A and B are shown apart, each in its own frame.
Chain A
Amino acid sequence: MAQHATKTARFQAVTANTVQQGEVVYFAENGAWQPRLDQAIIVEGNEAAQALLQKAQRPDAELYVVNMYLFEVVKTKNGFKPLSVRETIRAAGPTTRLDLGKQAQGE
C-alpha cells in the first residue's frame, strides 16, 4: 500500500479512488466516501490514523473504492489542506487544465 504520510505526521485523512470512475474520494462520516477533502474525517496522531484506516478498510469497501491510503494534511485558517503537491493536485485536478477535475466543479 502506498505511503503518503510520515511517522511524525500530525493530521491525517484516508483517501481512495472510486471503482466506477477512478474519482478521488475521502473517507467521511457514517462510512461514506465523499468527493471533497472538507468532508473527510481528519484525525490527529498516528494511532488514530491507523484506526481510521482500519475502519475504512471494511470488507465490502472494495466494491466502491480502490487504492486506499492515509495521507498527511495541515491545518490552515481556511481548514485542512493536503501537505504534498501530489495530494493537492488530487484534491483539485490538473494544474494545467483548470477546467478539469474537482476544481472545475467548484469542489
Chain B
Amino acid sequence: MYRYDEFDQQLVNERVAQFSGQVARRIKGELSEDAFKPLRLMNGLYLQLHAYMLRVAIPYGTLSARQMRKLAHIARTYDKGYGHFTTRQNIQYNWPKLAEIPDILNELAEVEMHAIQTSGNCIRNITADQYAGVIEGEVEDPRITAEIMRQWSSFHPEFSYLPRKFKIAVTAHKNDRAAIRFHDIGLVAVKRDIGEKNYEIGYEVHVGGGLGRTPFIAKKIRDFVPKAQLLAYLEAIMRVYNMLGRRDNLFKARIKILVHEIGEDEMRRLVEAEFAHIDAAKILAVPKQELDRIGAYFAPPNYESLPAESDILDKARSTDKAFDHWVQTNIVDHKIKGYAIVNISLKPIGGVPGDANAEQMDAIADIASQYSLDEIRVTHEQNLVLPYVKKHDLKNVYDMLAAQNLATPNLGLISDSIACPGLDYCELANARSIPLAQEISQRFADLDRQYDIGELKVKISGCINACGHHHVGHIGILGVDKKGTEFYQLSLGGAGDETASIGQITGPAFTGDEIVDAVEKLVTSYIDLRQPGERFLDTYRRVGLTPFKEQLYAPD
C-alpha cells in the first residue's frame, strides 16, 4: 500500500502543528468560536450531542495493521474504547477532549494518517471498491487513481472553499461496490480497444449523483477519459462547479443540483470547454515516472503458488457448521487461486453497525499481520475486509475472529444493515438509527430465516442528510421528527450498485414501536410474492410498490 513520501509527511506534520496552535488559542480564549469552528471542521473535528467527534480519513478504505493498532490505541487512550467505521470508509471517535486533539493528530501522523478534509466544503476522502486489487475481472487496481486524486485534491487551493462538500468514488469493476453513481463524481476504470489487440485504460465519468435531501443518480458525461488526462478532466468539472454551483442556498449547493438545473448536456459542454483549456496547458498530466512510482505501491504481492482448493478448509467446513455458514456468507472468491477475500462483519446480532472496540481492532490487526499481508480494508457498508487470506488459513482466521465476536455470518443479509449514528450521537439527526438496526437484527437473528430471505440491504438514516444511505436500501428507513417524537418513513427498491435506483416512499411514517413490525410485513410480503431465485430487489422490481404497500398498510 501507499507510503508517505517526505512531502506528504511534511504537509501532515505542518497541519498538525498549525491546528495544535489554533486549539491552544481557542482554549485560552484568543480565538472566538466563530473563528475556530471553520478551522476545526477543516481538521475533521465536529461538535456532536454529547462531545466532540473526530473523523479520521482512511484513504480509499485501505489500512495497514500498524495503522489499525494505532486506531485501537487512540480509542483506548483518548476515547471511550471504541471507534465507529462510517459509510465513507472513515472512522469516527465520539468522545475526544479538545485539549487532547493535538496529541491524537500527532499519534495519527506517526502512522501516516490524519483528519484533514474529512469535513468542510472541500474534496473529502476518496473512496474505492473494497475488493480493489484482489477481485477477478477488475480492469486495474483503482487505488492507484484514488491515490493520485488524493494527492491532487489535498490542500488544492482552488477547491478549498467549494459551494458545498464534494465526494469522489472510484471502482474498476463492472460490479459497483463503491456506490459511484451516488457520488458527486463517480469513476469507473474501463478499457478501450486501440487496435492490434492492444487496449488503453481510462475512465468513465459520472457526475452529479448524491443522496441527502434531494437524491439523484449521477449522469455519465464521458465514456472515456484517458488516464493521463484524468486530473485535467476532474479539474474541469471542479472548476465548472466552483464557478456555477449555488452559494445562496445550502440545500441547493451540491453539484447534483447544478447538473439537474442546467441539464446533463450543458454540464458536459461546459466541462468539455474547460477541459480543452486545461488540457492544452498540459500542467496536470501526471508524468509516467510518477504514475509508475505510485503504481508500484499497489503492485500485487508475491502470492504463493497454492492449489485452488484446500483439503484443510474442506475438512473444517464439513465438521463445523458455524464455520461453514461463515465461509458460505462472508468469503468472496479471490482472483488468485488458493486465496480468499474475508469479510469481517461489524454487525453482530444486537450490535451497533460499524462499531469496533479497541480489543477487536487490535485482534484484527494481529490477524491481518499473520494472515493477510498486513492489510485491512474498510467497506462503505461499515464492514471490514482481509484481502489476502490463504484458503487453508480460513479456519484459523475464523476462530480468531469468533473469539472477538467478529465472525457473524451475515454479509448482505437483513441483519447486515447500514445505520448512521443517528440521534444517539449526531447533532443533525431527527431520530435514532442504531436501535432500529439492533432490533431488526434481533428480530431476524435466526440464521436459517436470514438465509431463506437472502440478500436484503436495509439502510437506515436518522435524518434527511442520508448518511445511512436509506435512498439506496432495498428497504430504506428514514427517521423524521414530528413535534419532538421519532417517526420512521419506509422506502423500497433502492440500490447503490451498478443497477442504481432510488427507493420509493411507501406512504405514511411509522412510530418507533411500529417500524420493525412494518419491516417484517415487507419481508413476509416478499416471501409470498417471490418467484424461485428472486432476491427481494428482484421481486420488488417485478411487482412494484403496490402489493408491498397493500400488505404494509392493511389493517391487522
Residues of A at under 8 Å CB distance from B?
A: 17, 19-24, 60, 62-63, 66-67, 83-86, 89-90, 93-97, 100-101
Residues of B at under 8 Å CB distance from A?
A: 26-27, 29, 32-33, 47-52, 80, 95, 97-99, 352, 423-425, 429, 431-432, 434-435, 438, 481, 484-486
- 5 interchain pairs, CB-CB under 8 A: A60-B29, A63-B29, A85-B486, A95-B435, A97-B424
Q: A21 touching B97 by the CB < 8 A rule?
A: yes
A63: nearest chain-B partner, CB-CB: B29
Q: A62-B32, A96-B352, A100-B95 are in contact. Are A22 and B52 (CB under 8 A)?
A: yes
B80: nearest chain-A partner, CB-CB: A100
Q: A94-B424, A100-B95 are in contact. Are A21 and B484 (CB under 8 A)?
A: no
B434: nearest chain-A partner, CB-CB: A96
Q: How far is the CB of A31 from chain B (nearest CB, A)?
A: 17
Q: A85-B486, A96-B435 are in contact. Are A22 and B423 (CB under 8 A)?
A: no
Q: B47 touching A21 by the CB < 8 A rule?
A: no
B48 neighbours in A (Cβ, 8 Å):
22
B26 neighbours in A (Cβ, 8 Å):
19
Q: Which of B80, B99, B424, B485 has the most CB of A within 10 A?
A: B424
A82: nearest chain-B partner, CB-CB: B484
A104: nearest chain-B partner, CB-CB: B80
B438 neighbours in A (Cβ, 8 Å):
96
Within the assembled complex, what's the spacing in Å between the Cα atoms of A17 and B95? 13
Q: A24 touching B435 by the CB < 8 A rule?
A: no
A95 neighbours in B (Cβ, 8 Å):
424, 432, 435
Q: How far is the CB of B32 from chain A (nearest CB, A)?
A: 6
Q: B424 touching A20 by the CB < 8 A rule?
A: no
Q: How far is the CB of B417 from chain A (nearest CB, A)?
A: 13
A85 neighbours in B (Cβ, 8 Å):
423, 431-432, 481, 484-486
Q: A86 touching B484 by the CB < 8 A rule?
A: yes
A4: nearest chain-B partner, CB-CB: B484
Q: How far is the CB of B103 from chain A (nearest CB, A)?
A: 14
Q: A89 touching B484 by the CB < 8 A rule?
A: no
Q: A66 touching B98 by the CB < 8 A rule?
A: no
B432 neighbours in A (Cβ, 8 Å):
85, 89, 95-96
Among A17, A20, A22, the residue within 8 A (CB) of B27 is A20
Within the assembled complex, what's the spacing in Å between the Cα atoms of A20 and B95? 11
A63 neighbours in B (Cβ, 8 Å):
29
Q: A19 touching B50 by the CB < 8 A rule?
A: no
Within the assembled complex, what's the spacing in Å between the Cα atoms of A106 and B51? 18
Q: B50 touching A93 by the CB < 8 A rule?
A: yes
Within the assembled complex, what's the spacing in Å between the Cα atoms of A90 and B429? 12
A21: nearest chain-B partner, CB-CB: B97
A60 neighbours in B (Cβ, 8 Å):
29
B431 neighbours in A (Cβ, 8 Å):
85
Q: How far is the CB of B444 from chain A (nearest CB, A)?
A: 18
Q: A21 touching B49 by the CB < 8 A rule?
A: no
A19 neighbours in B (Cβ, 8 Å):
26-27, 33, 98
Q: A66 touching B484 by the CB < 8 A rule?
A: no
B29 neighbours in A (Cβ, 8 Å):
60, 62-63
A94: nearest chain-B partner, CB-CB: B424
Within the assembled complex, what's the spacing in Å between the Cα atoms of A19 and B23? 10
Within the assembled complex, what's the spacing in Å between the Cα atoms of A77 and B431? 27
Q: How far is the CB of A4 from chain B (nearest CB, A)?
A: 9
A101 neighbours in B (Cβ, 8 Å):
50
Q: How far is the CB of B509 from chain A (nearest CB, A)?
A: 15
| Given A20-B98, A96-B352, 12 further pairs, Cβ under 8 A | A19-B26, A21-B52, A62-B29, A85-B485, A86-B423, A89-B424, A93-B50, A94-B50, A94-B424, A96-B434, A97-B352, A101-B50
